[in-house]
Copies of this chain bind each other. A is one copy, B any other.
Amino acid sequence: MGIAKTEIFTEAQNEIALFAKAFGHPARVAILQHLFKINTCVCGDLVSEIGLAQPTISQHLKELKQLGLIKGNVEGTSVCYCINPDVWSKMKQIMTEFLDQDLCDNGSCC
Contact = CB atoms under 8 A, between A and B. Distances in A.
Interface of A: 4-6, 8-10, 13-14, 16-17, 20-30, 32-33, 36, 39-41, 50-52, 71-73, 75, 80-85, 91-92, 95-96, 98-110
A13 to B, nearest CB: 4
A107 B22 CA distance: 26
B40 A108 contact: yes
Contacts of A6: 26
Contacts of A30: 9-10, 13
Contact of A80 (B22, B26, B98, B110): B110
Q: Which 5 A-B pairs have the closest CB atoms?
A: A20-B23, A9-B26, A21-B24, A82-B110, A8-B51
